[in-house]
Amino acid sequence: MTLALIAGSGTLPAEILQACRHRSLVVIGFEGQTSPDLHPEIALFPLGSIGKILDYLRQNGIEEIIFAGALRRPSWSELHLDKIGTQWMKKLGWRALKGDNDLLSGILDLLQQEGFTILKPSDILTDLLAPSGCLTVTQPSEQDWAYIERGVSILKILSPYDIGQSIVIQQGLVLGVEAIEGTANLIQRCSSLKRPEEGGVLIKIAKIGQDQRIDLPTIGPNTVDQISKAGLKGISVSAGSTQILDSAIVIEKANALGIFVVGI
């Protein structure tokens, strides 16, 4: 059975490709978002070309689809919908106007109605999701745990609004909450707001009702580098629902830099 990988940016699509190297695979990407170098036979489409993508999937006998990688949500002026894409937006209704989780979940539901089975990245990469507990030599202090608890409480309150998945806390203060800019820009922004004292934690958790098939919170080696550069002390993620890319490298880097990584 041929699997279709619908790829965005980042390293996760390459990890999926490596894990699926011995099976029949079709790779689809989006113009301006997916690297054309990801795969020698990648098919690139404009983001709104739903009809063409569906035709391509059917021509290749696809029954299973997996989404991997980040997609930047375009403005309405950038989204050139074809006829099927326009029909899908009408079917999505209010979900198209809400946050990423509602929109992407709605799109996956429509794909299932078309007869496709949607796999989760963790179905292919079985060690992708963060385990529970501290993964590093450096352990969170009692103060760090207080920051984590505060961050989780705030993110749960914000969760129904589908704003973001991350927050940075230092000295009990909210240095920043992730919005559309993404985690890397959040950390960079918070580095200029950080108090001179040591400490500070990035808390990143799945939203309440998060669709496990797509857009899960993700960290990777670059996240550890960014945390170190910002002078923060650690990272806390939701166990079982946060993706850790290149987890062995993440743990090695964090240990070398004295940063903790904990799954809660």
* pLDDT above 90 (res 57): yes
* pLDDT above 60 (res 124): yes
pLDDT reported for residue 54: 94
Q: Tell me which residue of 185, 91, 202, 211 sits closest to 148, measured CA to CA.
A: 202
Percent over 90 (pLDDT), the chain: 67
Mean pLDDT of 225-236: 96
Residue 144 phi/psi, 5-degree rounding, is -60, -40
* pLDDT above 80 (res 80): no
Mean pLDDT of 11-40: 93
Q: Which distant-in-sequence residues (6+ apart) come within 8 Å of 106 by Cβ? A: 92, 95, 96
The end-to-end CA distance of the chain, in Å, is: 37
Residue 111 phi/psi, 5-degree rounding, is -65, -40
Instruction: Look up the pTM and report it.
Output: 0.88
Q: Which distant-in-sequence residues (6+ apart) come within 8 Å of 112 by Cβ? A: 118
* pLDDT above 80 (res 178): yes
* pLDDT above 90 (res 79): no
pLDDT reported for residue 76: 66
Domains in the chain, CATH or no CATH each: 3-121 (3.40.50.20), 133-263 (3.40.140.80)
* pLDDT above 70 (res 182): yes
